[in-house]
Structure 1
């Protein structure tokens, strides 16, 4: 078939029409060959799509290998470096931009802070550990047990079979978490949970509160009780984010933590502060001897300090308002106990009558002083 230019076209238009014919023919041929060797490689046309493809391939590696790789990270060293960085004094002109970015990123409510002026915080550490105005955390009068920290409730309930839920569906050993309990009987016929109980009419309960980076980082006494023992477990400092907690079994048993154990009106009571990445520093106000995330401590060990045997020596270490008594350190409901350097987790394990009921929902936000439950 012969293509003839229209007589009505000008010479220039005729020239353009002849040039367009092979171009159109080439387009049709390329369309027919789409997907063949003439098709440009998709990653050359879409580099972002190619990057996503590579990342998806790496994500297909066995989960166990990825978890093992994460566990091998030098989280203790990283956290010590972060601690030094937190203590670096910021120039006055840089403080407001840095803290404002943090406030915007994590949704910090500075109206609750005792010091709202950002220029007053000399370094990141002081800003993370900011105190609150006295009236912003009223104590619930109708509950015998109040929240020890601002955060999110990860899990709560009765302890069954000496196992505690880390997050839904993932458990860890109560004995591994608290360590051996002296003077509570070691009969092989009784479970670890049963050995903690002082009365057959009681049961063992637990609450896990996760503190996000934007939360208030001090933790308080959830009730009137007496601390008899401090047990420090050096360990890893992996993230305690709920997503990580679902992947790493025994995360709370692997991470560095400080367990305070003693008695309240219904029997056994314990509050454990669990460290996390960049939260190697766990401070207990009435115990100046406690030093966490230091190279001298090795993983897999624990170190005890009895407030019963050394009740008199505690007098030199307590802060104002904390009263040492015969047999331990007495803490009052709502009293500040200590602080984290960023955000982490508080685990409460306590004995109570079997009719104790939690007034909580999984995943709910909670603040210091709000009720946890009642009889």
Structure 2
């Protein structure tokens, strides 16, 4: 019942306004006040800064610098076996499995369509029908940079405008089609196992999604779809950091049919860590 109430509140929250306000605040340099904000966040969410490149709250001039922090080079070990697909982000595995024709499971009793998720992109619909997917939820306490789970080439990137519903457990279990309704950035890669998509889903208070090759994708939020094509491809290496959320959200990874096999030990609710083996190549 409590989760249902939380979900209902989402319909009435001024989500765009809250996100714009927080995004503005998070980019400002307030000196000692910024440090106090960061220390409060660290205490509230029990964040371990010892693995961060900069370990002290006062090292960050803005809240976003802290939130999009880099880790030490040895903080995450990337599984280097040739057959492995690795976790793209720190967080929780909220769902994974097979795409049933063009249908993905959001949460118990809630499904959404592949067509809507990829904004009716005809090639991606063809590539991922009956494929596989994994959904990784990043809570506010997590490290918020995302990484490539494979070696490959970025071929296309699409920004899809949309809503900014929260993507936590309470809302995904009670609001339909969240991932297909929220704004998102779709990155399409060419890999040795075929096409793979990494979908970066925005949410309430996510003031920005930033991609290494193009910089800040949102804001501004102009309400129009944007597309970037890379005919020669941009190379990525397995485990490579290629962007960040500036506050928590979700990464959905799509694979073509019969291209991978998830590890037998993988379970819904598992803690995800960048670089850990998630699946193996068929």
Task: Indicate whether the TM-score tops 0.5.
Answer: yes
Normalized per residue, the structure richer in helix is: 1
Larger radius of gyration: 1
- Which 5+ residue runs of structure 1 have no aligned equivalent? 1-55, 185-191, 309-325
Give the drift of 1:355.
6.6
Q: How does 1:1-375 map to 2 (within 5 A)?
A: 70-92=10-32, 94-142=33-81, 144-182=84-122, 192=125, 195-196=126-127, 204-288=131-215, 291-297=217-223, 302-308=225-231, 326=232, 328-351=233-256, 353=258, 356-358=261-263, 359-374=265-280, 375=282
| Aligned CA distance change for structure 1 residues 97 and 183 (closer, same or farther; 3 Å) | closer
Give the drift of 1:263.
1.8
The alignment's TM-score, normalised by the length of structure 1, stands at 0.69
* C-alpha contact 1:266 1:353 (8 A) present in aligned 2: no
Give the drift of 1:96.
4.4
RMSD: 2.3
* C-alpha contact 1:151 1:366 (8 A) present in aligned 2: yes
Q: Which whole-Å CA distance do the structure 2 matches of 1:355 and 1:91 have between them?
A: 48
| Aligned CA distance change for structure 1 residues 126 and 183 (closer, same or farther; 3 Å) | closer
Task: Report how many residues are paired.
Answer: 278
Q: Which whole-Å CA distance do the structure 1 matches of 2:238 and 2:41 have between them?
A: 31
Give the drift of 1:370.
0.6
Partner-residue secondary structure (3-state), 1:253: helix
Q: Which whole-Å CA distance do the structure 2 matches of 1:355 and 1:119 have between them?
A: 44
Q: Which whole-Å CA distance do the structure 1 matches of 2:140 and 2:6 have between them?
A: 25
* C-alpha contact 2:159 2:185 (8 A) present in aligned 1: yes
* CA offset digits 1:134-171 (Å, max 9, x no partner): 00101113452101110000011111121111123311
* C-alpha contact 1:218 1:339 (8 A) present in aligned 2: yes
* C-alpha contact 2:128 2:254 (8 A) present in aligned 1: no
For CA contacts below 8 A with separation 6 or more, give which structure has more relative contact order.
2
* CA offset digits 1:157-196 (Å, max 9, x no partner): 1111211111233110011000233457xxxxxxx4xx21
Give the drift of 1:332.
0.9
* C-alpha contact 1:237 1:280 (8 A) present in aligned 2: no
Partner-residue secondary structure (3-state), 1:247: coil
